[in-house]
Amino acid sequence: MIKNVISPEFNEEGRALRRVRSFVRRQGRLTPRQEQALEKQWPIFGIEYQPEPIDFSQVFGRNAPVVLEIGFGMGASLVTMAKNSPENNYFGIEVHAPGVGACLASAQEENISNLRVMCHDAIEVLNHMIPDNSLQMVQLFFPDPWHKARHNKRRIVQVPFAELILTKLAPNGVFHMATDWEPYAEHMLEVMTSVDGYQNLSETQDYVPRPETRPVTKFEQRGHRLGHGVWDLMFKRVK
């Protein structure tokens, strides 16, 4: 779970390929709480990477709408949503082990059973593990904006990514994004508008008010105090 966040790829000569990543791997130290959660809760709620589709009904032990969150950080909002909407199954992907541990610890404390997590590259998981037409919603909250121009190519929201998400959403499923970096919000809007098969749920064809279903995190509250804005985008699959 900790070591294999990225599956290596090699060329015909056997040399490792370098791929553009939307994240930087920061291992960080585990707190005793996080370490204990990984040890005890991962075997129950953790999903190991495998290059083949998974059966959500088997993974969760029931049939229910599946909400996928990519990059859940420390898991505070993900756990809150899972607690507030027990009718849904929540599936979270995060590459940083401390965040996975914190999420599992919080889920245990809240006695939540409708949550599963992975510690792996989300692009690989989407390509190889998530069945097509299987997700009710995909959530991407406050991804790294890579604000320097030379790093913009690392932003996860690009046309190929939006097209991939479209194939994984069920008909009428929704891709919900949020960012506190206005240039990235504009970039997201441009990308999503260019991809055929999505409908912008904004009445003004740009951004939507924060849905009540997205909890306000401590990070976001701090931003509000500092006068930072937050932009939510919601696009529905219509084809």
204 Cα distance to chain centroid:
26
Instruction: Please give the Cα distance from 147 to 84 (Å, whole number).
Output: 34
C-beta contacts of 185-189 below 8 A and 24+ residues apart: 185/231, 185/233, 187/152, 187/155, 187/157, 188/157, 188/231, 188/233, 189/233
Q: Which residues are annotated as a binding site for S-adenosyl-L-methionine?
A: 69, 94, 121, 144
Cα dihedral: 62, 65, 66, 67 (round 10): -140
Binding site membership: which residues?
69, 94, 121, 144, 148, 180, 217-220
Distance separating alpha carbons of residues 157 and 188, to the nearest angstrom = 6
Q: Is 144 a catalytic residue?
A: yes
Whose CA is closest to 117, among 5, 236, 232? Answer: 5
3-class secondary structure, 64: coil
- The Cα 202–Cα 189 span in angstroms is 11
Q: Which of 132, 144, 206, 232 is catalytic?
A: 144
Dist CA 130 CA 151 (whole Å) = 28
Residues with a catalytic annotation lie at: 144
